[in-house]
């Protein structure tokens, strides 16, 4: 059981909002988010991470910062992707509790009050669990459900279903996350991997307030591969077992042909069966090579040791001005 501690109202709260071409919803989101954070009674900062937006998102963020001293703007040098944008925000957040939320208003900012209450009850990770996904298509809901079932079957760490990045992290949870050196980051898996007391808060996910999702099915497929290869080596074992079973069947079939030839002679060869066997074995080999290639590609990317991201500009909030910037 988590230990309940008294949390003084002087402790800073940080909100991290990754944005990419979200100009249509920014003003509405910020008004709601700022109002909710003021209700907490804590000093706070709202860190917007601009992930290489091509519309006027950055200009709007700069106007928000001019009007609101709690706003910080972290501008990345290009579009690195949401996982990296979240990591950049965590690197720059100075709060004792850090809240992650998207700007599309599918995740209600009002749930922050429940997050904070559970944090004060001793939980290090408090996440929203979607019990109704009104904003998602049936295909997306079903594919996500089966993906997490497969992932949890393959992985040693249980990753909660119907859970996104919308959550609260304690300072020690954030310190654990930013200590990871890896470049390929499947954040939903990392949240679960670090452990610490965690609790789910159920909520109804709303349709997007405006605009369209940046996630098409091709990106979701690649994201799923990232999750599986980051948290399981079972596909490599499957490739090994599949090769062994196929070789075993081939050996048995070869012995069968040898015995049949010795007893009944050599009849007219069956070319259709030969072609089927060749195509089957070739398909198995390509699948196994593809699995190995996925892991090799990720190993190659990690060994290059490139920086996770580059910052084009950082404009801290008044709460963050006195903190030392990360390297």
User: What's the pLDDT tens digit per position in 261-285?
Assistant: 667 666 556 655 666 667 667 767 7
Residues 206, 72 share a domain: yes
Instruction: Work out whether strand 163-170 and strand 44-50 pair parallel, antiparallel, or are unpaired.
Output: unpaired
Query: Both 198 and 210 in a single domain?
Result: yes
Residue 4, domain member (yes or no):
no
Count of domains for the chain: 2
For residue 174, tell me if it sits in a domain: yes
Q: Are residues 269 and 316 in the same domain?
A: no
**Domain of 161: which CATH number?**
3.90.550.10
Give me the helix-helix angle, 234-264 and 271-303, nearest 10°: 160
Does 1 reside within a domain?
A: no
142 with 41, same domain: the answer is yes
What is the per-residue pLDDT across 61-103, written as a single tens digit (0 to 9) for each?
888 888 888 888 898 888 888 888 888 888 888 888 999 998 8
CB atoms within 10 A of CB 5: 10
Has residue 222 been placed in a domain? no
Q: Closest Cα partner for 69 from 315, 283, 308, 310?
A: 315
- Is the same domain home to 124 and 201? yes
User: In this structure, are strands 44-50 and 71-76 parallel, antiparallel, or unpaired?
Assistant: parallel
With respect to residue 5, please indicate whether it lies within any of the assigned structural domains: no
Q: What pTM was estimated for this model as a whole?
A: 0.70
**Within-domain flag for 293:** yes
Those residues with Cβ within 8 angstroms of residue 213's Cβ, 6 or more apart along the chain or in another chain: 104
**Are 311 and 299 within one domain?**
no
Judge if 193 and 250 occupy the same domain: no
Per-residue model confidence (pLDDT) at position 325? 45
Judge whether 154 lies within some domain. yes
122 and 160, same domain (yes or no):
yes
* Domain of 297, in residue numbers: 234-303
Strands ordered across the beta sheet of 13-19: 198-205, 125-133, 163-170, 97-100, 13-19, 44-50, 71-76, 311-315
Whether residue 282 is found in the same domain as residue 206: no
Point out which residues pair with 72 in neighbouring strands.
Answer: 47
Query: Is residue 227 a part of any domain in this protein?
Result: no
Q: Are residues 112 and 240 in the same domain?
A: no
Between the two ends of the chain, the Cα-to-Cα distance in Å is 36
- Both 105 and 188 in one domain: the answer is yes
Tell me the backbone φ, ψ of residue 266, rounded to 5 degrees.
Answer: -110, 100
193 and 293 assigned to the same domain: no
| DSSP-based three-state secondary structure for 148 | helix
List of the chain residues with pLDDT < 70: 1-9, 132-156, 207-244, 247, 250-251, 254, 257-258, 261-262, 264-277, 279-280, 283, 300-302, 304-305, 319-327
The DSSP call for residue 161 is T
């Amino acid at each position: 059981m988590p230990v309940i501690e008294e949390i003084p109202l002087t402790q800073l709260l940080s909100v991290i909002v990754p944005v990419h071409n979200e100009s249509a919803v920014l003003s509405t989101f910020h008004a709601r988010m700022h109002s909710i954070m003021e209700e907490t009674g804590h000093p706070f900062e709202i860190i917007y991470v601009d992930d290489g937006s091509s519309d006027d998102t950055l200009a709007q963020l700069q106007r928000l910062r001019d009007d609101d001293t709690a706003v910080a703007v972290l501008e990345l040098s290009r579009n690195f992707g949401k996982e990296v944008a979240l990591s950049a925000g965590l690197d720059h957040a100075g709060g004792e509790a850090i809240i992650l939320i998207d700007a599309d208003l599918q995740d209600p900012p009002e749930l922050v009050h429940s997050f904070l209450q559970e944090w004060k009850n001793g939980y290090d990770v408090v996440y929203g669990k979607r019990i109704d996904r009104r904003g998602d298509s049936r295909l997306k809901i079903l594919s996500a459900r089966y993906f997490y079932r497969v992932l949890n079957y393959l992985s040693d760490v249980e990753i909660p279903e119907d859970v996104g990045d919308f959550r609260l992290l304690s300072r020690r949870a954030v310190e654990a996350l930013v200590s990871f050196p890896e470049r390929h980051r499947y954040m939903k898996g990392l949240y679960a991997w670090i452990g610490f007391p965690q609790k789910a808060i159920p909520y109804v996910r709303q349709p997007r307030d405006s605009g369209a999702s940046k996630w098409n099915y091709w990106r979701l497929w690649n994201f799923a591969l990232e999750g599986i290869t980051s948290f399981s080596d079972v596909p490599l074992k499957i490739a090994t077992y599949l090769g062994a079973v196929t070789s075993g069947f081939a050996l048995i079939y070869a012995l069968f042909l040898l015995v049949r030839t010795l007893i009944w002679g050599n009849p007219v060869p069956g070319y259709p069966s030969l072609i089927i066997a060749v195509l089957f074995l070739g398909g198995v080999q390509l699948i196994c090579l593809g699995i190995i290639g996925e892991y090799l590609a990720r190993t190659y990317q990690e060994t290059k040791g490139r920086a996770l991201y580059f910052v084009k500009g950082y404009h801290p909030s008044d709460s963050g001005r006195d903190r030392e910037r990360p390297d």
